[in-house]
Amino acid sequence: MKIHEYQAKQIFTAAGIPVPDGEVAASISDVFQIAERLNQPVMVKAQVHVGGRGKAGGIKYAENAEAARVLAQQILGMNIKGLTVGKVLVTAAVEILSEAYVGIILDRTSHKPVIMVSAAGGIDIEEVAAKTPEKIHKLYVDPVVGLKAFQARNLAYKLYRDIGQVRQTADIIMKLYDVYWKNDASLVEINPLVSTPGGKVVALDAKINIDDNGLYRQRDIAAMRDVEAEEPGEVKAREADLSYVKLDGNIGCIVNGAGLAMATMDLVKRYGGEPANFLDIGGSSNPQKVVNAMQIILSDQNVRAILINIFGGITRCDDVANGIVKAFDQFKPSVPVVVRLTGTNEREAQKILAKVKLPTAETLDKVVMKAIELAGVGM
């Protein structure tokens, strides 16, 4: 799960990591009031779940409250990479001497958190990592022992020579690791971490992604979810306990299991179609899940055919078949539906499905080809 910069900065502040004073606003008048209260030049920063906000024009400098009001008019409601800006962070502008990068992420190969620092921070950090990887310093932390002070200091020396700044940075890195670990984060990032002419080290930006598997024990963070900043179909799917990702194609896919769902999408593409979504109904056999899945997919205007592919293990095919029949009872799908049910209770399922007379196929490849044919695309 992603949270906004202003939320991440709240977590930073609580952990004792220095950030510029600021507040979030959803209206032009609020932006004006916050800027007036700060009574100094400010930055107006779009709060959207996407990288490259600055380059897209979503982060701007304002000399005073009046200028901030004008900027708010531009940025609020603006579209950045398909997402509408609903909130902005109004934050005190900081004079910058140098920009560094600090990030912590899980290294899957070593099964350890890896802390990455670079003195070449800022908007081009990805290019730095790609072109001059020697400028990125890494430390793999033993998750059982945790981060030690000397390790944080060693990393800080890669960024600054001044002992005052090294101490501040080491302290920030220790606290950042704590934030990473205690909040079940999958990523924490400060880019840029800046030094000011006064010798202070400050986190100008803050990014925290949370491991979805940890949300059950991170209630405060789960409550930070900004539903308006997410794709509506994905929100609805999550509420219905389905795993759904919207794509741009026109073949709707309902599958059990993440791997099989991806493989089904791949085959749609292989046989000349374009998948409209990833949708995993999970291992449970609740017929209502199938009904919900159908509804979510049908709400996508691009969908021209629905493909249901189930390999029954724990999931029972007859339960899925009951769900399909139920869906047809409740609303007549406006597009063709083609079904393949294999595995546990397959025969019972076929009997149930006979009621709705749907086109079926025996194999994975055949059901995909059939769906593409019925959608009238890919020919």
Partner 1 sequence: MSIFVDKKTKLVVQGITGRDGSFHAEQMKKYGTKVVAGVTPGKGGSSVAGIPVFNTVAEAVEQTGANTSVVYVPQAFAADAVYEAADAGIKMIVCVTEGVPANEMMKVVPYVKARGARLVGPNCPGVISPDQCKVGILPGTIVKKGYVGVVSRSGTLTYEAIWALTLENMGQTTCIGIGGDQVIGTNFIDCLEAFQADKATRAIVMIGEIGGSDEELAAEYIKKHVTKPVVAFIAGQTAPPGKRMGHAGAIISGGSGTAAEKIAALNKVGIPVAGSPTEIPGLLKEAMKKSRAKAKPGRPVTRKKATVKMAGKKLTTRKRSTARRTVTARKKRK
Q: Which residues bind partner 1 (CB under 8 A)?
A: 106, 108-109, 111-113, 126, 143-144, 181, 184, 186, 211-214, 216-217, 243, 245, 247, 255-263, 265-270, 275, 278, 280, 283, 311-315, 342-344, 363-365
Nearest alpha-carbon partner for 201 in 163, 157, 165: 165
Looking at the Cβ atoms of 20 and 122, the one nearer to partner 1 is 122
Tell me phi and psi for residue 167, to 5 degrees.
Answer: -65, -45
Per the annotation, the verdict on 189 as an active-site residue is yes
Q: 109 or 334, CB closer to partner 1?
A: 109
d(CA 265, CA 285): 22
Q: Write down the least CB distance from residue 309 to partner 1, Å.
A: 9
CA distance 290 to 287: 5
**Cβ atoms 192, 54 nearer than 8 A:** no
Bridge partners of 98, per DSSP, are 195
Closest to partner 1 by CB, 280 vs 319, is: 280
User: Is there a contact between 83 and 14 (Cβ–Cβ < 8 Å)?
Assistant: no
Shortest distance in whole angstroms from residue 209 CB to partner 1: 10
313 Cα distance to chain centroid: 30
Of 5, 6, 99, 101, the catalytic one is 101
- The alpha carbon torsion through 50, 143, 192, 187 (nearest 10 deg) reads 0
Extract the tokens encoding 86: 């609903």
Comparing CB distances to partner 1, the nearer of 235 and 262 is 262
Closest CB 346 distance from partner 1, rounded Å: 10
Please, what is the minimum distance in Å from the beta carbon of residue 340 to partner 1?
A: 11
Instruction: Give min distance, CB of 364 to partner 1, in A.
Output: 6
Choose, from 5, 99, 189, 373, the residue flagged as catalytic: 189
Task: Please give the Cα distance from 338 to 353 (Å, whole number).
Answer: 11
Diameter of the chain measured on Cα atoms: 77
Judged by beta carbon, residue 97 or residue 364, the one nearer partner 1 is 364
Closest by CA position to 378, among listed 307, 275, 254, 255: 275
Residues with a catalytic annotation lie at 101, 189
